[in-house]
Amino acid sequence: MSEELQVLQTVRLKGRPTTDQIAAACGLDSEAVDRVLRVQAEAGRCTRTHGRHALAPAGRDRLRQLLAAERAGLDQSALARAYEDFVAYNTALKSLVTDWQLVDGTTVNDHSDAAYDAGIVERLTQLHTAFREPLAHLAGLAPRLGRYPRRLSDALAKVRAGDHGWLARPLIDSYHTVWFELHEELLGLTGRERVHEAAAGRAG
């Protein structure tokens, strides 16, 4: 599996991540990530500002080349079917996150109702359990997705331990953040565009 592809894709998905954030998402050690980033910076593909990395235009071009090569080696028919299966789980997660943020779809959830929040955490746990097998299947079709089961499980464990920010808080690897990144990966692997999925009500 290409460390270059893993690192560049993680930088794209996260926007301006630190080295440690990239390493955690990729399952690589920080030294390996640093090596890749140094090569990319020397080639004019990545920039670093205040300890955070970003893709330069040349880096985006390189990433597109790597992703195209990856797609060419995958079973697109099987991926398309797996993506259609994913859509139902994605819809369920979108509904769950909306309910976490809004009570009855209108009132901002101030999280003062512990029973209400506990019910949503239980729904998330059930969704996570149901999605294990489909996610393992996706990782079998596209090995680079093999980090997602652990990343989602780690976020869920923190939610269940009482740190509810790990359900949907942005800028950390919350359950919703990791799920969003997984969805982005699947869109890319199957040649779909988020704007078209959003128009069909399937973006999340």
How does pLDDT run across 28-85, given as a tens digit for each residue? 999 999 999 999 999 999 999 999 999 999 999 999 999 999 999 999 999 999 999 9
Residues across the chain: 204
Query: What's residue 203's pLDDT?
Result: 61
Q: How far apart are CA 144 and CA 2, in angstroms?
A: 9
Task: Tell me the β-bridge partners of 122.
Answer: none
Query: What's residue 194's pLDDT?
Result: 64
Give 137-189 as a DSSP string: HHHHHSGGGGGHHHHHHHHHHHHHTT-THHHH-TTTT-HHHHHHHHHHHHHHH
Q: How far apart are CA 149 and CA 16, in angstroms?
A: 23
Query: What's residue 199's pLDDT?
Result: 54
Q: How far apart are CA 177 and CA 154, in angstroms?
A: 12
Tokens of 60: 């985006």
Q: How far apart are CA 67 and CA 16, in angstroms?
A: 20
Per-residue pLDDT of the chain (204 residues; tens, 9 = 90+): 689 999 999 999 999 999 999 999 999 999 999 999 999 999 999 999 999 999 999 999 999 999 999 999 999 999 999 999 999 999 999 999 999 999 998 999 999 999 999 999 999 999 999 999 999 999 999 999 999 999 999 999 999 999 999 999 999 999 999 999 999 999 999 998 765 566 556 666
Which architecture does CATH list for 3-70? Orthogonal Bundle (1.10)
Query: What's residue 204's pLDDT?
Result: 60
Query: What's residue 198's pLDDT?
Result: 60
